[in-house]
Structure 1
Amino acid sequence: MTLASDLDAVRPFSVPLAATGPGERRAVVAIGNFDGVHRGHQAVLSQARRIADEAGAAALALTFEPHPRTLFRPDQPVFRLTPPAAKARVLSALGLDGMIVAGFDRAFSERTADGFVDDVLIAGLGVRHVVIGYDFHFGKARSGTPAFLADAGARHGFGVTVVSPWKDETGGAVSATRVRDALSHGDVPAANALLGWRWQVDGEVRHGDKRGRLLGYPTANLRLPEDCAAAHGIYAVRVRIGGTLHDGVASYGRRPTFDDGAPLFEVNLFDFSGDLYGKTLVVTLVERLRGEEKFSSAEALIAQMDRDAAKARAVLAAMTPLSDLDAVLSF
């Protein structure tokens, strides 16, 4: 077992444990899965950033791949809100200095709570201070509790801060489960409110059947991860291609009018021409306009697509940042 990332997409922001130097050791480390990097996670991460600034130290996030639930229940993979590249992008926008990816395999899961402290936090990272959420558990059978970690810190000379649950305006605790549920029901504004930033998907543009071009709506086709459980339908989107932003409309689903095939994410960019094949698109979902429908003819579909495009333009024209983080990621 190694604590290192071999993921090309996150290497520029990740810090392999074996290569940690003076700037990374004695760091303030926020620990968690941080899937979604929602407002509750941000409370943990901002505490780490604040403590690190006061100490003149680096602020790092220690996270785990794959998601532990996916390891233990491979037949029920977790709908990942932020796969590694997306998580790194959001953490970087929050001002973290690095992300350490721990390979979560069976050997890692069998490590005792004492072993996690000794091998990972002390020998591996030489932590100065650890910041965790109130519900963070670690070690075999989740035996390591926040109280256990606080006691270990007192014995070994590193600080521990436990952050209370972050509650939204309704008084409910913000969680990745709530975000996933909102997205699976197509309630993008609710999901984005819990995140504190607008949810994004990304992928490389691949060749499709060119049907959109024949309909007057050429699309960039992305294949999202199989665990993606976002509701199928039509979305108003903002797309980042390298350093440029473009507005558009996207369809996610099985194309019931034509082949009812495997789920595909198809993006039509407004007022754009150019070759996108092989490029990576980062797509911000702003609002779900409607569900997926089957039309009786191509003409009926085109008429609806015209209405969808007009509505998407109106939604996107009224778009304002949800937060400073959203302003960095989506504007």
Structure 2
Amino acid sequence: MSQTHSSKFLIAEDLESFPEELKGGIVAIGNFDGVHRGHRAVLDAALGLGYGTHHPVFAMSFEPHPRTVFNPAKPVFRLTPQQAKLDLMRHCGLDGALILPFTKEFAGIEANAFVQDILIDTLGISHAVTGYDFHFGRARQGTPDYLRTAGATHGFGVTIVHQEEDEGAEVISSSRIRDSLGKGDIAQANGLLGYRWFFEGKVRHGDKRGRDLGYPTANLNLGEDCPLLPGIYAVRVKAADGWHDGVASFGRRPTFDNGALLFEVHLFDYAGDLYQQDLRVHLVSYLRGEEKFDTVEALVAQMDRDSEEARAALGAMRPLSEIDQKLLELAA
């Protein structure tokens, strides 16, 4: 952890509002979608450099995702939209974050202007930390080697963090995590993230069918670009009144209407009203695929079995990391 004079997590969304308290600091630069184990290796390297010094440590990231800017017809599904990314960075122990608007004009600035105008003149950095694959500036001129040379020329330190691999010696990446979600391999996605993947959404009215079945649900929209495999999941949910365990169905309800994709959460032993609440849903495990049942009775019997399996999975849950423990407010 950095030992700075401020315990606040400071956020700036443009260069003009960059806070004085972060100037002269150590910056970790990257997109950081997911803030997964590979990203945290970069953040941890920056925090390690700041430990015991007066230098603040902050992240520089970009919104929207660069690939979405260059190919808007195929937007990148965000593992962590901006607020979730900031929450994770705060839990990592950073002093703040600078989220720069990413546009084609921004992507077209010369690499030397990025260094001089942003890193030196505006941020006054003492050290830059990036991943091995980070590039910046027009035509991706700003390679890791370019940054090293610029640092030596201008008097700031540069650390390039090597790729982070999982237990199978495969590189950890946001793309792999999206693929894992698309296969329903929640165990792998969560393992690569180092925490249980979560999303946030506002509860909306549904057709109240779950209530008639004895399984009232909170209905959430995950978005059309979400790659998550339809199926049944064990979930842990943060609502306004605290944490709840539950079981969720993501799909089109083939037994009834085969309609639009919907994420339906049933909270165990809950009698309150969740409508219009903002929920944070953590996926703990994948139980089974979506099925069509011949009768409502057969569906309810399966839902009973799903609930038992979800309770067992949730009862066996242990923190995956310090971040996971903080996010889920789990006991050590």
Equivalent positions of 1:23-38 (< 5 A) are: 23-38=21-36
Which of the numbers 107, 110, 121 marks the counterpart of 2:108?
Answer: 110
Of the three residues 190, 193, 202, the one matched with 2:191 is: 193
**Residue number in structure 1 paired with 2:237:** 239
Question: Shift of the alpha carbon at 1:177?
Answer: 1.3
Question: In the alignment, what sits opposite 1:74?
Answer: 72
* Structure 1 residue aligned with 2:201: 203
Q: Does 1:96 align with 2:94?
A: yes
Output the CA distance in 2 between the equivalents of 1:217 and 1:271.
10
Alignment check: 8 A CA contact 2:18 2:98 kept: no
**Residue identity matched to 1:77:** P
DSSP 3-state at the match of 2:238: strand
User: What corresponds to 2:126 in structure 1?
Assistant: 128
TM-score, with length taken from structure 1: 0.93
197, 211, 214: which one pairs with 2:212?
214
Letter in 2 for 1:135: D
Residue identity opposite 2:12 in structure 1? V
Offset at residue 55 of structure 1 (A): 2.6
Query: Secondary structure of 1:261's partner?
Result: coil
CA offsets, 1:75-107, max 9 Å, x none? Answer: 222121111111111111111121211111111
Counterpart amino acid of residue 84 in structure 2: A
CA apart distance, 1:21: 3.0
**Counterpart for residue 280 of structure 2:** 282
Aligned CA distance change for structure 1 residues 273 and 37 (closer, same or farther; 3 Å): same
Q: Secondary structure at the match of 1:247?
A: strand
Aligned position for 2:227: 229
Name the structure 2 match of 1:5.
none
Residue 2 of structure 2 corresponds to residue 14 of structure 1: no
Match of 2:303 in 1: 305
What does the per-residue CA deviation read over 1:111-137, in whole Å, with 9 as the maximum and x for residues that have no partner? 121121122212232212111001111
Size of the aligned set, in residue pairs, is: 320
Contact 2:182 2:227 in 1 (8 A): yes
Q: Is the 8 A contact 1:13 1:88 kept in 2?
A: no
Residue in 2 that maps onto 1:4? none
Q: Which amino acid aligns with 1:100?
A: L
Does the 8 Å CA contact 1:132/1:162 hold for their aligned counterparts? yes
Counterpart amino acid of 1:275? D
Deviations 1:132-184 (CA, angstroms, capped at 9, x unpaired): 00111111121110010111112222111100111111111111111111111
Cα distance in structure 1, aligned partners of 2:62 and 2:46: 18
Task: Please give the alpha-carbon distance, in whole angstroms, between the structure 2 residues aligned to 1:315 and 1:167.
Answer: 27
1:328 paired residue number: 326
CA contact (8 A) 2:10 2:19 kept: no
CA distance in 2, matches of 1:13, 1:187: 35
- Residue number among 87, 111, 122 corresponding to 2:85 in the alignment: 87
TM-fit CA distance, 1:13: 5.3
Structure 1 CA distance for aligned equivalents of residues 46 and 314 of structure 2? 34
- Distance (whole Å) between structure 1 residues aligned to residue 140 and residue 205 of structure 2: 45
Matched residue SS, 1:213: helix
Percent of aligned pairs with the same amino acid: 56
- Letter of the 1:315 partner, please give it: A
Mapped partners of 1:176, 1:54: distance in 2: 32
Give the conservation status (yes or no) of the 8 Å contact 1:13–1:92. Answer: no
State the Cα deviation string for residues 309-330 of structure 1 (Å, max 9, x = none): 1100011001111111111112
Residue in structure 1 matched with residue 5 of structure 2 by the alignment: none
